[in-house]
Structure 1
Amino acid sequence: MLDPHQLPFSAAVHPQARPAQHLTWDSREAGPDTAFVALPGERMHGNTFIDQAQAAGAPFILTDLDVPGAVRVPDAQAALFAWARAERAHAPLVVGITGSAGKTTAKSYAAAALEALFMPVYNTMPAIACFLIEHGRAGRPLVVEMGIDRPGEMAELMVLVRPDVGVVTTIGPAHLEQLGSVENIAREKGEILAGTRSLVGAQAAASYPGAQSYGFGDVTFRGETLRITPEGARFTFAGVPVFLPHGAPVQAEAAVLALVLAREAGVALPDAAARLRGVHVPGGRYRVHPGRFTVIDDAYNASPVAVQAALDALQTLPGRRISVLGRMLELGPTERELHAEVGQAARQKADVTYGVGAFAAELGERAFATVPELLAALLADLRDGDTVLVKASRGISWTPERRAQEGVGLDVVVQALLQARGDA
């Protein structure tokens, strides 16, 4: 329980404040067992939503205001982070994972192997803080996804999370509008390696000479005899056979990381490998939907390195291979060239290439201005036995109309394909 009367900082606790099971900065998630933290936002302060949280029955409100049920402090955000740092100290093992692509996949496999608690998809600093406060004393390992999109953010995260193991999955052009260059990305993300233990994926190894690496090929910790089939990925690690249903090379590399972490934590490798079979990554992250034509839902987000990895996986699969690619966001002044490079790779690795949105012609031989136009052509073209990869950035803050126009948010394409197949 999160007891407002036993906090690692000074606060004026209102008599109506009571213990909670959970903590949130989103007033819509507040409830009888979920307390609310009123934080400053880009547009509005969380104090604006205190009435809403109180009406939902929040056990207490962490705020700088004197209101019923308040845990009153001068700065709610500073108090939240101080509380998180105090609770994190009780965790037996904390693994921090960053990278230009593959973070969520790596997190999911590492957590399964370690039987750890892990961060949900939404991984802002307040979300990470709430996670550490809720689970720091659970007595289980914690796996935290540490994504960044601006200079200095990893340094802030390191103060908060203090991972025992720092992992970089990949390095490539992503969030270039804020970070400026791949070299800056490598430097900023590389701050996670200042932890007690550091590991980098095979693709990222060139950016961190001397760091211990994992994956396949010329790495420190190596999976062996990797085979990719329509059924999934098979390989061995330290003599232990591993099978990942519908897995691709990215999942296999994440599984190697997971097994390295498990072995170092004293977990029996056969048990860890068995748990990896049941990993289900969140929707939109290379989720394979087999059927009369196969749909690969990789539409959650996109960067050049992530699209290249998805295309590599597509190339290993049978049947007519179709890539459906949309715009990648936050790539800065070189975005046209980066889209052209991805499109060239698609033409080499797929049999049919579709592009949509602002850089449609760069991304595919069959180029369409909007998502509805793309869908009409794609659905008319599909055949039994095809394999269709769908990938683009999300443009999550955009209106549906703008997303359709710009060629982002292609989860709607995935849903249309599944509906056309009759199983959605």
Structure 2
Amino acid sequence: MMMVDEAAQVLHADWSGSNVRFTGVSTDSRTLKQGELFVALIGERFDGGKFVSNAKEKGAVAAMLQKDAEPAGLSGDFPVIRVQDSRLGLGELAAYWRNRFSLPVIGVTGSNGKTTTKEMIAAILRVAVSDNAIINDPVERVLATAGNLNNDIGVPQMLLRLRRQHQYAVIEMGMNHLGEIAYLTRLARPNIAVITNAGAAHIEGLGSVEAVARAKAEIWVGLDQSGTAIFNADDRYASLWRECAGAREIIDFGLTENARVSAVYRLGRLVNTLQLRLPDATVEVKLQAPGVHNIYNALAAAAVAWTLGIKKEWIVAGLERFQSVHGRLQKKCGLHHALLIDDTYNANPESVRAALAVLAAAEGKKILVLGDMGELGQLAIDLHRAIGRDARKAGLDQLLTLGKLSAYAAAEFGKGARHFNSIDELLKVAKSLLADDVTLLVKGSRFMQMERVVRQLEQTEELSCC
């Protein structure tokens, strides 16, 4: 990857010890690999400097430390780069490394759907770069954000994974405050930037949905004037994003006919059929991801692929091979042959409403298990009450809630709702309700860890169901 002295020069930093080559960068001593540079991050609740010795034992060949850090147990020849702020140093190193590559970089942000959209884009691109559109290529040619590495620590780590073999990079960008997307997009310098939508996610730190929309528009900051801005034409802030994009090329997507990329669709229980309208062709896609919101995600991915000049056949193949991301509307076999839908990765009002639409389309008895939605600030109670009303309007049979805030959703839902103060109480009731004519969907914000419910309700034996 690079030598210690090169990294120090990039960072305008002092360094000491041997001048060695490191093959990668890690911020976690637990997952660090042999030959990597360990970046000791400092936060309110952690001090990476305390784990330098552990990192060295795991195989770290060098470390990046803040100037005032004094870790114990390091020999004088162990390479150490000293910086003012290790978090910013990580970003500077990532920006330098990204600039060594000329491949197309796609940046993706939005309140909802950014992870699924990122994975759909990657699925299409993996088809495009593989011989004869076969995706069993042993060499990774498409770099896509892994897990939740979408913040000011994760994005630099993803950029530092770029290698000569990569033909495309798809970088997800999340945020919880103004300026974060602007920082990330300056590091990534995308050729194409996508905004999926704007909603109430992270409204606690921003104050209004309009402020969220403006924060998402920061992704254009790192987009070159020759780049392409892609956004949801049906979002109420589409005109704002169009204005912020300036003179850049714009490709909008949506279900309105005047969108550059659009679709006519037929919803199925777990498969959507759409006539995908690209600017120069119309193709049929069988999308194995339920809900209208996933049609929007597919349109965003198709818009990116079309902008890159990907063949329409490969766009179709990539979208049809896409499987739901872990914890996002995953179909599972529940106890007593019930259909269990795992949508536990995260939750905000818009994503819960999308889940309600999927559940409403199910056959038989419909049950929602809902945990609290976080980061909603002063609007939290009202937004939970609104979800209770929406769940009632969606025709759900029962609503089971867990958490202080979700109690307001249960109260608004009325008859058929039950609130629980412990997960054990909830599980006891939920298990008693499962049957072969039941569809049960589990949803909640990350801090609620609602996947615990899924694990207890899932049928672990290999049975034919759903």
TM-score by length of 1: 0.89
- Equivalent of 1:165, from 192, 196, 202? 192
Matched, 1:106 2:152: no
- C-alpha separation between the residues in 2 aligned to 1:254 and 1:92? 23
- C-alpha separation between the residues in 1 aligned to 2:308 and 2:89? 32
Is the 2:230–2:304 contact (alpha carbons within 8 Å) kept by the matching residues of 1? no
- C-alpha separation between the residues in 2 aligned to 1:367 and 1:250? 28
1:266-277 mapped onto 2 (5 Å cutoff):
266-277=309-320
Q: Which amino acid is 1:284 matched to?
A: G
- Per the alignment, do residues 281 and 17 of structure 1 end up closer, same or farther by CA in structure 2, a change over 3 Å counting? farther
Residue of structure 1 in register with 2:414 after alignment: none
1:279 Cα deviation after fit:
2.5
Matched, 1:355 2:394: no
1:6-45 mapped onto 2 (5 Å cutoff):
6-7=6-7, 9=10, 10=12, 16=18, 18-45=20-47
1:385 Cα deviation after fit:
2.4
Q: 164-173 vs 247-256, which deviates more? A: 247-256
Q: Which runs of 5+ in 1 are unaligned?
A: 396-407
- Per the alignment, do residues 16 and 29 of structure 1 end up closer, same or farther by CA in structure 2, a change over 3 Å counting? farther
Q: Secondary structure at the match of 1:329?
A: coil
- Equivalent of 1:78, from 76, 85, 88? 88
Is the 1:60–1:69 contact (alpha carbons within 8 Å) kept by the matching residues of 2? yes
1:102-141 mapped onto 2 (5 Å cutoff):
102-115=113-126, 116-122=142-148, 123-135=150-162, 137-141=164-168
Residue of structure 2 in register with 1:389 after alignment: 441
Matched, 1:200 2:221: no
Q: Which amino acid is 1:310 matched to?
A: A
Q: Which amino acid is 1:409 matched to?
A: Q
Q: Which amino acid is 2:356 matched to?
A: L
Q: Which amino acid is 2:110 matched to?
A: G
- Per the alignment, do residues 45 and 386 of structure 1 end up closer, same or farther by CA in structure 2, a change over 3 Å counting? same
- C-alpha separation between the residues in 1 aligned to 2:304 and 2:382? 38
Residue of structure 2 in register with 1:93 after alignment: 104
Is the 2:285–2:316 contact (alpha carbons within 8 Å) kept by the matching residues of 1? yes
Residue of structure 1 in register with 2:454 after alignment: 414
- Equivalent of 1:242, from 267, 273, 285? 285
Residue of structure 2 in register with 1:403 after alignment: none
* RMSD of aligned alpha carbons: 2.4
Is the 2:118–2:144 contact (alpha carbons within 8 Å) kept by the matching residues of 1? yes
Is the 2:290–2:358 contact (alpha carbons within 8 Å) kept by the matching residues of 1? no
- Per the alignment, do residues 320 and 389 of structure 1 end up closer, same or farther by CA in structure 2, a change over 3 Å counting? same
TM-score by length of 2: 0.81
- C-alpha separation between the residues in 1 aligned to 2:20 and 2:324? 36
- Per the alignment, do residues 215 and 71 of structure 1 end up closer, same or farther by CA in structure 2, a change over 3 Å counting? farther
- Per the alignment, do residues 182 and 343 of structure 1 end up closer, same or farther by CA in structure 2, a change over 3 Å counting? same
Q: 328-337 vs 247-256, which deviates more? A: 247-256
Q: Which runs of 5+ in 2 are unaligned?
A: 68-73, 127-141, 243-250, 411-416
Q: Which amino acid is 1:239 matched to?
A: T
- Equivalent of 1:325, from 364, 367, 370? 370
Deviations 1:347-399 (A, max 9, x none): 1112322222213443232222322222111111122122111111121xxxx
- C-alpha separation between the residues in 1 aligned to 2:77 and 2:355? 52
1:422 Cα deviation after fit:
7.1
- Per the alignment, do residues 274 and 2 of structure 1 end up closer, same or farther by CA in structure 2, a change over 3 Å counting? farther
1:222 Cα deviation after fit:
3.6
- C-alpha separation between the residues in 2 aligned to 1:124 and 1:68? 33
Deviations 1:289-309 (A, max 9, x none): 256221111111110011111
Matched, 1:295 2:306: no
Is the 1:114–1:258 contact (alpha carbons within 8 Å) kept by the matching residues of 2? no
1:163 Cα deviation after fit:
2.0
